[in-house]
Structure 1
Amino acid sequence: MGILRFRLKMQNPGLRQFAYALSVLVTTILGFAFVISANYPGYLNGDSLYQLQEALSETYGDWHSPSITVLWSVLLDFLPGPVGFIVFDNLLIWSALAGLALALRPRLGAWSYLILFMPLLPGAFNYLGHVHTDAMLAAILLAGASLAYLAQCDWRSRRLAICLQIAANLFIAAGFLTRLNAVFCLIPLLLYANSNLGARRTILLSGAVLAVLPLIYSVQNTLLQVPNSHPGDSIKTYQLLALSYHEQENQFPGKWREEEARQIVESCYSPVQWDTASNWGQCRFISQNLRAQGLWGSRTLTESWLKAIIDHPRSYFAMLVPTFKKSMFDPNSRQMLYSADNPWGWMVQDNPPRPDTQIAQDYARSKLNDRVGRPWVFGLLSVIGLLTLFRLNLQSTKEGRFALAVLLSGLIYLITYFFFNVSAEYRYFYWCGFAAYLGLIIVILCALKTARKRPPTATRSHAERAVKLTSLVIAAFSAGMITFAFTFNLPATKRIITLTPLDEKPVSVTRIGSTATPLWMAPAFEGDTRPMTWDWIGHAYQSTSRLSPVVASLDGLRQTIEIKLETGPDNGRVAIDEVGMHRVVDTYSEQPGIQTIQLPPSPGEQRKKRRFNTGVSNTALIYVLGLLFLFLRLTRARAAQ
């Protein structure tokens, strides 16, 4: 009888609505509380520690978002250290999802409750407790998207709808102040947020918001006295360095010594990130020389960058793909479950971790989270969501249009890093994960809701056709580049190097590897090292009286190999051999030290390089056009029925 009475009560619509709202509220509070507790006081890395110092001193730079630094300085008045940052992030994320779950229920049913579990999905969970500008960007854009949908709901108060629409525009615009390169992914969100105004007014208002953003940024920096250090020139520097490698000729403007020009071509390019050429990298002379000559931030550098792209378009494309591949399939710093040392002792308790911290860290490090939570998966899910949406004609529904805007925003942001990327970092794609999951979940809910009653296939206007074609072009380009990148590999060379001691005195080698590997990720011995009878002592291989060689086999780019040998009064001679090269090095010195030997690559074969670059660009074009044709066919099939 008790169960029957409960079922009868739950048939009351008001009671069901209350129970749903209560479950949303409880789940939101529990999720928020768990994230904050498990990650307290928040993970700080080197970049966020530097930004924290700016917030504490209220001095602002443009390598990190001044807007976020100002926000953080305000939060510090209420919550010390990193905790205020992650509390604000998670307040935005969980409240935005709660608002969506409540607003979607009347139209998509109780399954809308599942949206609340989106932050726990693979990849989305990674940075909930991390102090990152990219985590803040995801929270701000998610809040803006949620407000945009709420503004489209049927409110009795017109004033409330207008307030929600204004708030949505403000949050979406704040994405630009958080990351300037996010400007492109704001376009679909702004168009959706203002879509109730009619096509012409929507375009005008959204365009006006985008146009005024650079002015707001400039005024902000003037008021905060932010020096213009031209962080965008890191992209130009990295791409000029990559083009120098591909063209085997220094592409930088200015005056360079012969040895510097040689290193630019042979010793500094890494497809992983630009750090080698930065002020803290092993080829720091590049950034330092550009600044010393007044080229950093200059029109000359920009013109040289554009000229190099125009003169070598195929090499430019071939240069973009390897960093994009690394970003998609094996990005750096996917979890970063560590805290940078700081004088305030703001560290996540890790030795031993609290029970909730252990649970969070175990999940973040799990194979499921790590393997599924990759940018290529986000791209694939976004494309699947778009194709499903158009195939079932869901873009004719309010929720379908919302999903379309979110999915396009994530895809556009993802593909932005094909063209403008200086490091294969996971954090750059954090919003892409949230956008992919949210958009796909809503598409699935829409499809289930309309499974028995499909939206009518109406005659589409020119604007609707343009939106569909543009969306499919973006989807085809994204899917094409991800698929092509998976099969892409830069031409590699196999080099075999032997080190043979020439007398009884010991020889110690501490490193054999590429000069271009970023310092923070460079192992002492790259490739396959066979020490034979050499002994591992401390941090080096040391020869023995048997006088057998060390054999190092390295597969990599056509770059200089670096060998580091210990020197001292008791050290002997060693022969270094490679095909076409023999060199004898005496490691004796009166004082202990390190001697570095550099083995340059063999001369390049320009004809093979040109053939490779031509094949790369042609094959990629075939991928994109083929997928576009397929997507057009797939999305046309349903409408024809």
Structure 2
Amino acid sequence: MTRAFSHRLRIVIATLVLFALSMLIFAPGYLEYDSVGQYGQALSGRYDDWHPPVMARLWSLFVGHGAGPMLALQLAGWWLGLGGVAAAIVDRRPRAALMVLAIGLVPPWLGWQVTVLKDAQMTGAALAAVGIIGWWRLRERSVPPAAWVAAGLLLTYAALVRANAIFAIAPLVALLMPARWRSRIAIVIGLTLATLILSPVVNHRLLGAKDSGVARTQALYDLAGIAVRVGDDPRLGLSAAEIAEIAAKRCVKPFFWDPLGERTRCGTLLQRFEIMSPGRIYARLAPAIMHHPVAYAEQRLAHGNSTWRLWVPARWPSASPPEASEPNDLGLTQPGRVALTWQRMAGQWVDVPVMWPIVWVILSIGGLAVTRGRGLAGALFGSALGLEASFLVISVASDFRYHLWPVVACALGMVLAKPWRGDRRIVGATLGALGLVLLIGGIARATLPVPPQSYEGMLG
């Protein structure tokens, strides 16, 4: 037995142990409101597209077994990805291999990965694909066709299971290709457009999901955000009375779209838009942006600040992984006391910089610049940055779980590439920007009042 084989065997055993312990402690997984709704669809056989139906369809294969099989899938992807990368580098960089596995044990990150949600499903699938490719690439071997097929299937699922996941998957695929930058840019654009065009076809015709109106939310959120900033303008398609009431009721919140959709808050104000096609609403939003670019920029930057968690108070909600599953009458249970202890510990991390997405945005920019997009690390940085950049245009909520893949991808890239040893100017600029972010975020958390800690409180 060679030393390299011995080291890899230990990593494989450690990875299997970590997977087994994760299942033992966290089964059958935590479930939030969205999870329960998707399981209900799997039980009934009636699907809609509010959440990508591919997850509910997959779940329907395990009806009668609760959430456990879905938890097993996303944890298998999580540990397969990290274990594959760690095993590939352990003979040359044993400490780095241990750091790779340690990424999977960061309490709040694992706390979200054991929550049965589309975000964890995407992260598990994407990470498994990275582990498969990394097993060969990091040993400087060519990836066999069967491995590319397996990785391709996983990335296809990742792209379908989150509506905006393609902004992470397309850069990842493009940067893994041995091509020039022009070709890579063309790959990103082609994959993104193809996915945006074909996803509705797959969801509605192939997977049989009904239109839920989810495609209207982004346009209405930004249209209302522009309206409350500029006031009455007939070109917006909202009356002066509607705009005044939206403003008076504080229906537009940087934190999330929800007040505009909740009947008990502001949902009835926009009820007439429910009969409009998404295309007609976007046809109103486009000229609104052109005529009021400053108001649109304010709307998107306010939400960007909220979801990136820069100038926000301490305990900004929706960062802590759940400590209990959503109450339900579908027979879905929840993990035991050890898991609860872990989740409570993870909840103490919410104000630590590793839980600020803006920190990982800065590190991804620096990492991509240092690596020039080369290697597996460069692809991970590009993937993380692609998804984070999309939140400036396409995002209506500030939950940390939406950032799980970019955060983990960037952390993994930092271990693989050691970008802090790259170009001194880039490293210096990155550290300077990071220091400024930490200063601003620290002042905000020390001075701003703590927000409501419940959904109802944030809604009001």
Give TM-score, length-normalised by structure 1. 0.61
CA distance in 1, matches of 2:233, 2:324: 39
Q: Which one-letter code corresponds to 2:221 in the other structure?
A: Y
Q: Is the contact made by 2:231 and 2:243 (CA closer than 8 Å) also made in structure 1?
A: no
Q: 1:182 Cα shift?
A: 2.0
Tell me if 1:434 matches 2:408: yes
Q: Is the contact made by 2:215 and 2:278 (CA closer than 8 Å) also made in structure 1?
A: no
CA distance in 1, matches of 2:323, 2:81: 26
- The structure with more helix, counted as a fraction of residues: 2
1:66-215 equivalences under 5 Å are: 66-76=53-63, 80-109=65-94, 111-121=96-106, 123-152=108-137, 161-195=144-178, 209-210=191-192, 212-213=194-195, 214-215=197-198
Q: Compute the RMSD of aligned alpha carbons.
A: 3.7
Q: Which one-letter code corresponds to 1:222 in the other structure?
A: R
Tell me if 1:49 matches 2:36: yes
Tell me if 1:37 matches 2:24: yes
The superposition leaves residues 116-154 of structure 1 with CA deviations (integer Å, 9 ceiling, x where unpaired) of 121112542231210111111111111222233345466
**2:325 aligns to what SS in structure 1?**
coil
Aligned to 1:596: none
Q: Which structure has more RCO (C-alpha within 8 Å, separation ≥ 6)?
A: 2
CA distance in 2, matches of 1:358, 1:56: 27
Aligned to 2:290: 310
1:201-600 equivalences under 5 Å are: 209-210=191-192, 212-213=194-195, 214-215=197-198, 217-249=200-232, 256=239, 259-267=241-249, 268-291=251-274, 294-295=275-276, 297-329=277-309, 330=312, 331-334=316-319, 335-349=321-335, 353-354=336-337, 356-367=338-349, 370-389=352-371, 401-444=375-418, 520-522=456-458
Give the percent of matched residue pairs that are identical in Structure 1 and Structure 2: 23
CA distance in 1, matches of 2:280, 2:391: 24
Q: Is the contact made by 1:320 and 1:419 (CA closer than 8 Å) also made in structure 2?
A: yes
| Runs of 5+ consecutive residues of structure 1 not aligned to the other structure | 1-13, 449-453, 458-470, 490-516, 525-641
CA distance in 2, matches of 1:184, 1:173: 13
The superposition leaves residues 508-562 of structure 1 with CA deviations (integer Å, 9 ceiling, x where unpaired) of xxxxxxxxx99712599xxxxxxxxxxxxxxxxxxxxxxxxxxxxxxxxxxxxxx
CA distance in 1, matches of 2:218, 2:266: 16
The superposition leaves residues 178-211 of structure 1 with CA deviations (integer Å, 9 ceiling, x where unpaired) of 123222222221123332x787887777766555
Cα distance change, pair 369–30 in 1 and its aligned pair in 2 (3 A): farther
Q: 1:68 Cα shift?
A: 1.1
Cα distance change, pair 382–479 in 1 and its aligned pair in 2 (3 A): same
| Runs of 5+ consecutive residues of structure 2 not aligned to the other structure | 445-452
Aligned residues: 440
Q: Which one-letter code corresponds to 2:116 in the other structure?
A: V
CA distance in 2, matches of 1:65, 1:366: 31
Q: 1:406 Cα shift?
A: 0.3
CA distance in 2, matches of 1:250, 1:135: 42
**1:419 aligns to what SS in structure 2?**
coil
- The structure with more strand, counted as a fraction of residues: 1
Q: Is the contact made by 2:23 and 2:72 (CA closer than 8 Å) also made in structure 1?
A: yes
Q: Is the contact made by 1:55 and 1:70 (CA closer than 8 Å) also made in structure 2?
A: yes
**2:112 aligns to what SS in structure 1?**
coil
The structure that has the greater radius of gyration is 1
Give TM-score, length-normalised by structure 2. 0.83
Q: 1:420 Cα shift?
A: 1.5
CA distance in 1, matches of 2:180, 2:354: 40
CA distance in 2, matches of 1:252, 1:63: 29
Cα distance change, pair 261–481 in 1 and its aligned pair in 2 (3 A): farther
The superposition leaves residues 16-42 of structure 1 with CA deviations (integer Å, 9 ceiling, x where unpaired) of 234312321232122212222332221
Aligned to 1:584: none
CA distance in 2, matches of 1:366, 1:175: 29
The superposition leaves residues 70-95 of structure 1 with CA deviations (integer Å, 9 ceiling, x where unpaired) of 11112336xx1122211110001101
Q: Which one-letter code corresponds to 1:246 in the other structure?
A: R
The superposition leaves residues 298-325 of structure 1 with CA deviations (integer Å, 9 ceiling, x where unpaired) of 4331111111111000111111122221
Cα distance change, pair 173–33 in 1 and its aligned pair in 2 (3 A): same
Cα distance change, pair 230–421 in 1 and its aligned pair in 2 (3 A): same
CA distance in 2, matches of 1:154, 1:36: 30
CA distance in 1, matches of 2:400, 2:420: 31
Q: Is the contact made by 1:241 and 1:251 (CA closer than 8 Å) also made in structure 2?
A: no
Q: 1:288 Cα shift?
A: 1.6
